[in-house]
């Protein structure tokens, strides 16, 4: 199971890198979204996919999943959510101010100003 997950995560990273290297800001933000999905799945996988029951104390349960990676992911998710929200608003503001979402165009606009 870990091997399958590794391939899926590797594919997410590949797609993320490809999108981040593109010129449109929106594609880049989608890329960072995929990158954080990959990272979160990686924490879950590296913690080991063993354990049958969810990590909640109940009678008669002995083989629980590792609770620590789940707590780490929850933290990482809200952080990346906050950063992505900020990044999206920044991209919107940049589009309003500069009139384009193409990074090459933005460079040209600012070079003309200097």
Find the angle CA(13)-CA(7)-CA(46) to the nearest 5 degrees.
Answer: 85
Residue selected from 57, 86, 102, 104 as contacting other proteins according to rule CB under 8 A: 86
In whole angstroms, what is the distance from residue 85 CA to residue 29 CA?
10
Rounded to a whole number of angstroms, the minimum distance from the CB of residue 52 to other proteins is 20
Tokens of 45: 């996988």
* Phi and psi at residue 24, to the nearest 5°: -80, 135
Does 28 bind other proteins (CB under 8 A)? Our answer is yes
Contact present, 87 and 25 (Cβ < 8 Å) = no
Does 25 bind other proteins (CB under 8 A)? Our answer is yes
Does 19 bind other proteins (CB under 8 A)? Our answer is no
Question: In which residue are the tokens 């979402």 written?
Answer: 101
Question: In which residue are the tokens 């906050």 written?
Answer: 82
Q: Which is nearer to other proteins, 59 or 112 (CB)?
A: 112
R_g over Cα of the chain: 20
Does 83 bind other proteins (CB under 8 A)? Our answer is yes
Which residues of the chain form contacts with other proteins (CB under 8 A)? 20, 25, 28, 32, 35-36, 38-40, 42-43, 45-48, 68-69, 72, 75-76, 79-80, 82-83, 86-87, 90-91, 93-94, 97-98, 103, 106-107, 109-110, 113
């Amino acid at each position: 199971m870990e091997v399958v997950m590794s391939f899926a995560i590797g594919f997410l990273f590949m797609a993320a890198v490809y999108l981040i290297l593109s010129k449109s800001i929106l594609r880049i933000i989608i890329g960072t979204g995929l990158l954080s999905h990959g990272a979160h799945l990686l924490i879950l996988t590296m913690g080991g996919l063993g354990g049958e029951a969810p990590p909640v104390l109940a009678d008669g349960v002995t083989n629980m999943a590792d609770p620590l990676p789940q707590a780490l992911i929850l933290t990482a998710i809200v952080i990346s959510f906050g950063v992505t929200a900020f990044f999206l608003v920044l991209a919107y503001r940049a589009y309003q101010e500069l009139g384009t979402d193409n990074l090459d165009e933005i460079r040209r606009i600012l070079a003309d100003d200097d």
